[in-house]
Structure 1
């Protein structure tokens, strides 16, 4: 049986591969992006795919939309967040697994998919499965229309001018009294009158992570994470700036970055 693992995080793919290492009846393939996943599914025709929802190029849902319905594999969605997407496909997808993975949960999802394949082969009911995927896509599109969009840019008044600070160019944000200081990739710094909590609600949680009460960082600008013992962590940014992770944010921090113990 061919199983495709799709995730833009190498460690996440490695984790699933390790779980299946002793199963000689499974032939494993990997894809590190949505576009690569589409090519792999078309070329290898896997029966089952573990498909990450949020990737750098496009989502796992968009991967399936780009594939001819007749070759869509049974899909186990993978996500780090138990958010609105889960509610949309909880009763319609084959299964979903939350990060960080637990071995038993992954194996249970695989077993459920195998049983679906056996049932479909006996009853010739693949068309019903593909119809469920299409229903899922429609529901997600409706949810996206209703969802509050994340900020792509922040309009700031600097003297007599208005400046656009694009969120993708923010390295990190620190608090200063009732203001937030935005540190940009080009070295500039802007002051934005808002609270850290209010700002965190408006920016993409897949791109930013809060380390403590006074610090939010862009995940792609993290150079390394240092474990300092006793469960403490220090984050080093690409420009060398260091921030500590407070105890109240440590659990969310480890889950979002899929860090082990």
Structure 2
């Protein structure tokens, strides 16, 4: 059985694809998502073998979503697109699986045939942006898209990964490692990443230090990262 997730901001498009997939009993739709935040939660929860991903979505595009996924849990991706002929040729050149909207039943069957022969994920990392402009977050029952320039620091604890801004706190399902790779945030502690632009003061303490952000929050700095943090601002 091939587990899959459908990601598309258009409910009728998801419904149409689901109806076509119903003719393939070895394909099991474990979740559907209408945006990147829902998609990340579903992917982390279900760890599907296959992802049907719409490229053109508001706020956070399908390509940006790829940059937010842990490479170790990356599923096989089938792009769903209404792109023009030039973009389609680019997908074909790199041998990526894609479906052109409106989806043709025979084309879907052909794509699934290739997937059945080889479910291994393909490297799509170069399609994703090197840096993220937004972070997908959630706070209670609210889904939030947080601009990266508003983030002061991020930290992890037993409750997950927390994103702090001057206006409050939310959660994200991105890992600290991925956030370091894809954002301007830097380590100041093994459980904390901080935005250099948010730092107002570095207060030296016995055995380490702490940062005071521009909103007044205090963030611990371990001895391991203190020298690197000081040198970032030109301090010896």
TM-score in terms of structure 1 length: 0.45
More helix by share: 1
Larger RCO: Structure 1 or Structure 2 (Cα < 8 Å, ≥ 6 residues apart)? 2
Tell me the TM-score normalized by structure 2: 0.50
